[in-house]
Structure formats: C-alpha cells, structure tokens
Amino acid sequence: MIDLIQNTVDGVMIGSSYGLLALGFTLIFGVMRRLDLAYGPSIMIGGYFGTLLYLHYGAGPFAVAIAVVIGAVIAGIYVERLCFAPMKAGAAIASMVSSFAIWMQLEQAAILVLPRHTYPFPPLATAAPLEFGPFLVRVDHLIMLACALALAAAVHIALYRTRFGLALRAIIGNPVAAHLVGINVRTAVLLAFAGASAVGGAAGFLVLAVDQQVTPMFGMWATLKGLIAMMIGGLGSVPGAVVGGLLLGIVEANSQWYFGPQIRDLVAYVVLFAFLVVRPQGLLGSAPEPAMPPKA
Amino acid sequence: MLDISDLVTAYGKIDALKGVSLQVETGKITCLLGPNGAGKTTLMMTIAGLLHPRRGSIRLAGTELVGLSPARIVGHGIALVPENRLVFPQMSVRENLLAGAYQRNDKSGIDADLQQMYARFPRLNERNEQLAGTLSGGEQQMLAVARALMSRPRVLLMDEPSLGLAPLIVAEIFNIVRELNRDGTTIFLVEQNAHMALQVAHRFLLMEQGRITFKGMPGQLAEDEVIQRAYLGTRRAAG
Amino acid sequence: MDDYLIGVLSNIGVISFVALSAYLLLLTGEISFGQQGFFAIGAYAAGIATALWGWSLTTALVWGAAVSGSAALLVGVPTLRLHGLYFAIATLAFAEMVRILFELFRYQISIDGELIGPNGTDGFRNIRYIFDHNIDAFQFLLLIYSLLAATMLAFMLLERSRLGVIFRMIGQDETLAELQGIPVARYRVLAAGIAGMLAGIGGGLYAHLTTYVEPRIFDIMLGVHSLAYGLIGGLGTALGPLLGVLIDIGLLESIRALAGYRMIIFGGLVAMLLIVRPRGLLDEVVVHKIGRGWRRVALWVRRSGLKPRANNARATGGPP
C-alpha cells in the first residue's frame, strides 16, 4: 500500500511533465490538425543548447532553462516553416512524413555537434529528499511539479483570457471562419507553434534537469510520451493533456515498480491502445472523429 | 461600393467564374440568384479572399481587394456570412460575437455593439453563454450574421442564409436583412430561395454556369421565369 | 556482381515488402505506423520454423506470412472504428507492443549442444538456413526479387481489378462507398490482412538474409520509414514505394563519403520534395499522364501502318 502511494506520488511528479509535453503537442494538433513528429526532437535541440551552455559556461539552472526554451522555439519554427506552412490543405500526410524527415535531420545534427551518448544537465535542487511519514518526495520533483502546474495555468490563461488565445481557439474551432473574422491565420499558427515549442521546451528542461542528462534519444522519448498522454487525455483538449499526462505518469510509475521497465513501457502502450479502441476521444476529448482529413 | 469586373476563378483547369462583372450599390440590397454549381459560393469566397482569382478585379470603394489576405479584406470592411454558418462550435455565443470584432480594439464600441446584437437578436441574448455548436440551425444563422456585423462592415456578404432552415425562420432572417439595410448596411446576398430574395432585393442578378446572365430589378422578369432560371438554369435550346 | 551490390539490392528488395504493406493501407485511406510489427512477426515466425523446427524455407515463409496475416486480421477488427490519426496511433501502439513482447520472448531449443532461438533483447541468432543449404547470396537475391515481382504483378492486377477500385473508393470516401453497398468493414479487414501478410513475407526473407534479428530493429523508425517510402516514390502506383526504397537505400549507400551527414541531407531533401510533390514523385497525376502518353504511343503505332493492312487505300491516311 505504501509502495502504491509512493509510486503514485512519483508518478504524479513525472506525469506533470508528460502533461506539459502533451500540452504543446495538443496545441499544435488543434491548430494544424496535423501531427508534428519533429516535436520531441525540437525539444531535444533545445536540450542540447542547454547542455552546451552548462558545459561551456557553467550556467545555472535558470539560464539553462531559458536556453532550452529558446533552442526548442528556434527548432520549432524551423519545422513549421519547412513542414507545415508550405503545405496545402489536403497534404496532411505529407506534412507528417516531412516532419519525420526533419526529426531524423535534427537527431543527426545533434549527434554531429555533440557526439557523446550523454551530456550533463544541471540539477534543479541538491537538497535531501523531504520526508512525509513513510513517503519520500524529492525536492527537484516538487519543483518540477510546481513549474509544470504553473505553466499549465499560464497556458490556460493565455488561451482563455487573451486576444491571441481567442484567435487560437477560433482556428481550432473552425479555420475557415477564423479567416472570415479577420484573424491572420498564418501568423497565428506560426506563433502557436512557437508557443507550443516553448511549453515543450520548458517541459523538456524540467525532465532533463531531474534526469541530469540529455541524450539524442530524448527526442523520440519526448514525442512518444507527449503523444500517449495527449491521446489518453483527449486529442485537442488542453485540460485533457494535463490529466492524460498525470495518468500516464501514475500508471508508468506503478508498472515499473512492480514489473520492471519493459512492462512499464508495454503497459503504457496497452493503455493507449485500449483507450483508442474503446474511447478514442480519451478522457476529456470531444469529437471521436478527428478534424484531421482522414483520408490519404 | 463594390465593383467587380471580369473575374475569373478556376479550380485546376475548370473555370468556375468565367468573367463575372457586377456592381453592388451602396446602401442597397443586391441579390445574386442561380442554380447549384453556378459559381455563387465561388464568387463569395473570392471576394472574401479565401480563393484567388486568375484574372479580374474587385474594388471596394476604389481599393483593389484581389491579392489581399482574407484578414486584410475584413480590415477594409467586407464581412461574409458563410454558407453553412461556420460558427465556432466550442466557443460560447458571446465569444463567437467577440471573435467577430477581432480586428477592433475600441473596447467600449465593441461592448456597445454587443448589446446592440443582443437587442436585435434576443434569442442570442438568452443563449449567451451556451456553446455555439449546440444551437439550432436558425440560431446559428443569426449568430453568424451577428458575428459578421460585429466588425461593422461596409458591405455584408451573405451566402445562402436560408439554407436548411424552416420557412418561419427564413422569414425572420429576411426581416433582419431588411432591417439591417434600413439602418444603412449595404448587403450582397446570394440565394437559392428566389421567392424570398426577390421580396427584399433592390437589384438582382442571375448567375448561370459562371456567368452573369441577367441584371435588373425585381419585376423586370416574371417571378416564375426567375425561379425557373434560378433553380434550373436557362434552357439553351429554342424557347 | 560483387557481394556489396548483392547485399544492397537484397536489402532494397526486402524492405520493399514493408513499404508495399504500408502502401496498400494508404490505398484504402489509412495511415499505418505499425507495419514493422508484422515484419517482426514474420521474421521471428519464419526464423523459428527453419532454425528450431527444421522446416524448409518455402514452408517457413508461408508460415511467417500466415502468422503475420492472422495477427493483422486480429488487430484490424478492433481498429475498424478508427480513422485518420486515431488509426495511425493505434497501429503505432500495436507495433511497439509487439516489439516489447519480443524483448520478453524466450524460446530456445538445444540443437547439437547449442542453444538456438529467440532470446529476448539479445535477439535471435543463427538463422542459418541459407548457409546450411548452400544457397549463395545471388540465389537468395533471385528468390527475393521473384517474390517481389510476383507481388508487383499482383498489385498491377489489383489496380485494374474490381477489388482495386473498391479499395480506392474506400480510400476516397468511406461513407460514399458504404452508400454504394460496399461492406467497407470487410474490405478494410481484408486489406489489413493482406498488408500484414506482405510485411510478414518481407520479415521472413529479412530474417534469413541477415541470419540475425533483434527487437530493436523493428522500431518506430522502420514503421515511419515504410510509410515515407510511398510518400517519396509516389502514391499513384505500386512502383512508387519501390522507388522510395530505391532512393533511400540505394542513393544513400552510394554517398558513403557523406555518411555522417546522410540524414541531414536526406531529411532536408525529403521535406523539400514533399512541398512540391505532396503525393510523391509518381503521384496519381503523373501516372495518369504516363498512362495517357502510353496509349497515345500505342495508338500512333497502330495508325501509322506499322502493322500490315488489308486495304491499301487506308494506308494513305484518309479518315477511317
């Protein structure tokens, strides 16, 4: 029982980052109706910016975080300009495959610049873990949770209390009508991409700082976690992204504890598959039919 | 107010608009009638900037609109109430209306207009916080009209506002069209429902197969001839 | 032909099966990121059949195709209600589950004092059938390409057949197809099964070509690649995915000097290609034009009197 609770607590911590990753993903999907397979790799590029800053200048976590976000945004804009902006309405698959091509490009570019298998990241906190009775909570985990929740709240405010947020929700709701009310859709989409990359970058920084390392495999890992959390929580749903992330984190933490890392990954996919078959719109999503053009 | 000359819009190799020329007079209601596939919606989308014409010009009070982005065209004073309403389904009625005022930043003016919309469309007032996707067809149509009006357009374009609506609601919509025009809005209306359209129009045009085939005033053509041509197109063979 | 070239060509041939597998599903309008799962199942099944059970290669390949085809049918049914992105991610989840299950799968038999068989993450070594039976590399290459040729022939026939039209109809508009009286569900499952079998054949060939498979190979990269080949080579014909594989493996093998920059160059080229050709090089428009051009040539050949005519007057070129 104690293990279950401890795992759940740990799961919530890491799950909050999954939620942020899913948040960026879902924003991009909502606005473009297309899947950006280069999402995780762009964040990884940010991570490499961060580690460079750390290695060469010994920068502290705050500066590294900013570097990660900047790197992720630059990479994100690159992806948007190349894979999404120039594509016509019906070319959804082409966009996805194009983003996959850029995923590979970014991964190889990262390996070329920093060829070692792993690079260090500054820790979020070095204090000893806090004790709450029989439970242990790492200080850096707490910081990660707090930051993730704050960011999710910020995104919510941006979406629902700002003019730009209104524009994004309009585009998500009906892209043609968004044009008709005078929203500059192309610019808004680009900014949404940048924003989503920034959110992803922040999530990436938190995970990397807790892990204290970055590897070139981080890109695929981030994409997968974000994707699974997004689908479980509900495609195109902002609160769904957070909930999906938390749920994924809890399920993973417990699976790993009782059955080991391989089963942990297996369970994540089983849960995803089960949701898709039984309830494709996830926990909080709306339409079971995606707005994405479903045909090739 | 709106001067369109020799407009050609194509889908791939097929010309949907084959050189359309027409004028929409300031302060009047101009109706465009025609059968399905004649190109009416294509014309509306071209004016709104969603489609790019191959050739031709669209001038709004002298300013050329061809080549501008849809957002810029809205900025110049065109608002389109699209076919099928196209409301923002996950946003409330109020947010839909505010979206219509997207390009404006005069907060007091927007609030005043908002109140005016609620006065003009009481049903929208009742359903203020309701999600637009849950409204009935007629309510969505009113919402789409009100949303377009929120940008204080110089020309209001309406694409088949009666589509899919019950006759009572259609009558209501056309009443609103008349009212709006009385208050000074220039309206360019595309319709299949020739009967209702002719009752409000000051001028009307017939479009068949991408060309304007008649320009005139209601009464110049017998109504049943108009209806026949609006729904079926002119019969080319003798008679 | 030197060994290196044989190796590259064999690789191209084998991967073409997975590319065609993804392509078939694309025809019915669905994106699959998971055909590598059936590739894996085919590889392991055929490998076990020859290395552990002593079956012949042919039987093993058929067995591999049957197992992967059945798995595809099993997955095809619950995913029937899914479309577009939902379907794509379901296939991805499935393929990953398969990969992880193979990481946990152990089935070893002692043969001549040696432990042979799949051993979890360590993979499955010693699938030595072609060596034990003295089949040289070139002969195996011929086997791969005869199977591939047969598959291509089947695709060509499919394009012209009623089944092919049905698949494309479902791909264009499923609701419309349903309204025409087409039992869409049945055909989608059929397509899934055939696609699974194709990937399984490829897998079986792959296992024997490389004599060693491990779960790591059957990852998402392979899956998205399979889809990408069709997108690059063109979706208008079954030759498209083949062209895509040829370009990826063939062209890039030949610029070995740029090995470190390979993905950077290739990734950029693919992205730019897709901007101008979102449905690939041999897309439907190009194929249609080639078809028209070909018919014109055939008509010209007939009309210009290259074939003997009974009536001389006709040969002077008056109207028929």
pLDDT tens digits for range B147-193:
999 999 999 999 998 888 888 888 888 888 898 888 888 999 998 88
A290 contacts C86? CB cut-off 8 A = yes
Q: Which helix (H) or strand (E) holds C96?
A: helix C84-104
Which stretches of chain A sit within 8 Å of chain B by CB?
163, 166-167, 169-170, 172-174, 176-186, 286
Beta-carbon contacts of residue A191 (< 8 Å; ≥ 6 apart) = A164
Question: Tokens 């093993």 belong to which residue?
Answer: C60
CA–CA min distance C101, chain A (Å): 8
Taking residues C58-83, report their average pLDDT.
Answer: 93
Task: Say yes or no: C247 and C104 in one domain.
Answer: yes
Those residues whose C-beta lies under 8 Å from the C-beta of residue C3, and which sit 6 or more positions away, are C137
C310 and C264 in a common domain: no
Query: Residue C143: is its pLDDT beyond 60?
Result: yes
Structure tokens at C243: 């062209």
Number of domains in chain B: 1
| pLDDT band for position C306 (cuts 50, 70, 90) | low
| Stretch C44-71: mean pLDDT | 93
Of A279-288, B2-11, C12-21, the range with the highest mean pLDDT is C12-21
C315: pLDDT strictly greater than 60: no
B235 pLDDT above the threshold of 70: no
- More confident position, C20 or A93: C20
Instruction: Answer whether C260 sits within 8 Å of A112, measured CB to CB.
Output: yes
Give the bridge partners for B131, in sequence order. Answer: B92
- C180: its two tokens: 């025409």
Mean pLDDT of C204-218: 93
Q: Tell me what percent of the residues of chain A surpass a pLDDT of 90.
A: 55
Average pLDDT score, chain A: 89
What are the backbone dihedrals phi and psi of residue B28, each rounded to the nearest 5 degrees, phi first?
Answer: -115, 165
Decide: B190 and B156 in contact? Cβ < 8 Å: no
pLDDT for the residue B169: 85
Q: Say how far apart CA A296 and CA A54 lie, in whole Å.
A: 45
Confidence tier at B232 by pLDDT (50, 70, 90): low
- Decide if B71 and A182 are in contact by the 8 Å CB cutoff: yes
Contact B71 A183 (CB under 8 A): yes
Binning pLDDT at 50, 70 and 90, where does residue A292 land? very low
Q: Which domains does chain A have, with CATH numbers?
A: 2-278 (1.10.3470.10)
Selected residues 113-152 of chain A with any CB under 8 Å from a CB in chain C: none
What is the per-residue pLDDT for C308? 57
Q: How many domains does the structure of chain C reveal?
A: 2
Give the Cα separation of B13 and B6 in Å (integer): 18
Asked if residue B68 is part of any domain, the answer here is yes
Question: A169 to chain B: nearest residue by CA?
Answer: B91
Q: What is the pLDDT of residue B239?
A: 39
Alpha-carbon torsion (B142, B143, B145, B150), positive or negative = positive
- Measured between CA atoms, the residue of chain A closest to residue C101 is A266
Whether residue A267 lies within 8 A of chain C, CB to CB, comes out as no
> Is it the case that residue B83 has pLDDT exceeding 60?
yes
Confidence check: pLDDT of A214 > 60 = yes
Which candidate from A163, A176, A186 shows the least CB-CB separation from B86? A176
| CATH classification of the domain holding B210 | 3.40.50.300
Asked if C78's CB is within 8 angstroms of A277's CB, the reply is: yes
Distance of CA B16 to the CA centre of its chain: 18
Band of residue B49 on the pLDDT scale cut at 50, 70, 90: very high
CB–CB of B137/B167 below 8 Å?
A: no
Does the pLDDT at position C314 exceed 60? no
Q: Of A192-206, A223-237, C304-318, which range is least confident? A: C304-318
Asked if residue C318 has pLDDT above 70, the reply is: no
Q: Is B237 inside a domain boundary?
A: no
In this structure, the answer to whether residues C273 and C289 fall within a common structural domain is: no
Instruction: Supply angle C-alpha C95, C87, A79, rounded to 5.
Output: 85
Residue of C nearest to A235 (CA): C86
pLDDT band at C64 (very low <50, low <70, confident <90, very high): very high
Mean pLDDT, residues B32-55: 89
Nearest CA in chain A to C267: A101
Establish whether chain B is in contact with chain C, requiring a minimum of 3 CB pairs below 8 angstroms. Answer: no
- Using DSSP's 3-state secondary structure scheme, residue C284 falls into helix
- Asked if residue A196 has pLDDT above 90, the reply is yes
CA–CA distance, A33 with A189 (Å, rounded to integer): 11
Residue A288: per-residue pLDDT: 52
pLDDT of residue C313: 46
Question: Between chains, do B98 and A182 touch, taking CB under 8 Å as contact?
Answer: no
- Tell me whether chains C and A touch (3+ CB pairs under 8 A): yes
Higher pLDDT, C120 or C308: C120
Domain boundaries, position B9: 2-88+154-232
Q: Taking the model in full, what pTM does it have?
A: 0.86
Sign of CA dihedral C118, C121, C126, C128: positive
User: Which chain C residue is nearest to residue A110, measuring alpha carbons?
Assistant: C264
pLDDT of residue A294: 37
Does residue C223 share a domain with residue C310? no
Domain co-membership, C118 together with C198: yes
User: What residues in A contact C96, CB-CB < 8 Å?
Assistant: 265, 269
pLDDT reading at B238 higher than 90: no
pLDDT at residue A276, as a whole number: 92
**Record: contact C271-A270, CB cut-off 8 A:** no
pLDDT score for A73: 96
Nearest CA-CA distance, residue C69 and chain A, Å: 20
Chain B contact residues (CB < 8 Å to A): 48-50, 69-71, 74-75, 79-80, 82, 86-91, 95, 98-100, 102-103, 147-148, 151
- Across the A:B interface, residue pairs with CB atoms under 8 Å apart total 70
Q: Is the ipTM beyond the 0.85 threshold?
A: yes
Note the Cα A287 to chain centre separation in Å: 22
B86:A174 CB<8 A: yes
Q: ∠ CA A83-A87-A90 to the nearest 5 degrees? A: 125
Q: Taking CA atoms, what residue in B is nearest to A237? A: B90
Q: For chain B, give the mean pLDDT.
A: 87
**In this model, does residue A61 exceed pLDDT 70?**
yes
CATH number for the domain harbouring residue C83: 1.10.3470
Q: Hey, which chains touch A, using 3+ CB pairs under 8 Å?
A: B, C
Q: Terminus-to-terminus CA distance in chain C, angstroms?
A: 53
Test the A interface: residue of B47, B74, B97 with most A CBs within 10 Å: B74
Q: Is the pLDDT of residue B196 over 60?
A: yes
Instruction: Name the residue with higher pLDDT: C8 or B228.
Output: C8
pLDDT band at C248 (very low <50, low <70, confident <90, very high): confident
A44/chain C closest Cα distance in angstroms? 16
Does C179 share its domain with C309?
no
Point out the residue among C86, C268, C275 whose CB comes nearest to the CB of A276: C86
Q: Do chains A and B meet with 3 or more Cβ pairs nearer than 8 Å?
A: yes
CA–CA dist A113, C152 (Å, integer)? 43
CB contact under 8 A, C97 and A270: yes
Q: What is the pLDDT of residue A15?
A: 93
Looking at the structure, do residues C80 and C22 belong to the same domain, yes or no?
yes
**C77 and C174 share one domain:** yes
Q: What is the pLDDT of residue A290?
A: 42
Q: Is residue B103 in a domain?
A: no
Whether residue A266 and residue C101 make contact (CB cut-off 8 A), yes or no, is: yes
Q: Which of 155-194 (A) contact C at CB < 8 A?
A: none
- Nearest chain A Cα to C261, which residue? A108
Q: Which residues of A touch B48 (CB under 8 A)?
A: 179-180
Residue A66, pLDDT > 60, answer yes
Does residue B218 belong to any structural domain of this protein? yes
Q: Does residue B9 contact residue B15 with C-beta atoms inside 8 Å? A: yes
Domain span including residue C289? 283-320
Q: How confident is the model at residue C259 (pLDDT cuts 50, 70, 90)?
A: confident
Neighbours of C44 (CB within 10 A): 29
Q: Smallest CA–CA separation between B88 and chain A, in Å?
A: 5
Test mutation, A160, A180, A185, A187, chain B, max B CBs within 10 A: A180
Tens-place pLDDT, residues B97-136: 999 999 998 889 999 999 999 988 888 999 989 999 899 9
* Interchain proximity A174–B87, CB inside 8 Å: yes
Give residue for tokens 């001839």.
B225
Are C177 and C299 part of one and the same domain?
Answer: no
Q: Which of A76-90, A188-202, B220-234, C104-118 is predicted least confidently?
A: B220-234
More confident residue, A133 or B21: B21
